[in-house]
Amino acid sequence: QLQLVESGGGLVQAGDSLRLSCAASGRFLGNYNMAWFRQAPGKEREFVAAITTSGSRTNYANSVKGRFTISRDSAKNTVYLQLNSLKPEDTAVYYCAGTRSGLPTYSALYDYWGQGTQVTVSS
């Protein structure tokens, strides 16, 4: 069973940066395509970014393209999400997720989820 634990969230001001981490245990993270999703209060969970097992291909939501960067370190069994130029509308709980099924943007196609980390951006 792949277990995922997110960290790195916090309260920041607009324009600041954060780096979220997703540490895996139980299985080798390198066998899974990984993604980040987020969910704001009262809204549905939405796709943010995804990365293939090798890290050679990534995909981003239009709302974060050019500001967020997803990466992975197989040696550390960890996936990262670098958040730059943060905006108040980026406020949400951020979740990492794993799948063997390509790079889907649909959350139901991900089999493994972390518990989430809160990111709050003040204006």
pLDDT band, very low/low/confident/very high, at 103 (cuts 50, 70, 90): confident
CA distances from 119 to 20, 30, 64, 83 (A): 9, 26, 14, 10
> For residue 14, what are the contacts with CB-CB under 8 A and spacing of at least 6?
86, 87, 88, 121, 122, 123
Q: Which residue has the tokens 């989820």?
A: 113
Give 6-56 pLDDT, tens digit per residue. Answer: 999 999 999 999 999 999 999 888 899 999 999 999 999 999 999 999 999
- φ, ψ for residue 23, nearest 5 deg: -95, 135
3-state secondary structure 95-106: EEEEECCCCCCC
Cα gap 89→7, rounded to integer Å:
20
> For residue 30, what are the contacts with CB-CB under 8 A and spacing of at least 6?
53, 72, 74, 77
Please check whether residue 71 is in contact with residue 83, taking contact to mean a CB–CB distance below 8 angstroms.
no
pLDDT band, very low/low/confident/very high, at 116 (cuts 50, 70, 90): very high
* Pairing mode of beta strands 117-122, 10-13: parallel
Q: Which residues pair with 7 in a beta bridge?
A: 21
Give 50-94 pLDDT, tens digit per residue. Answer: 999 999 999 999 999 999 999 999 899 999 999 999 999 999 999
Question: Average pLDDT, whole number, for the chain?
Answer: 96
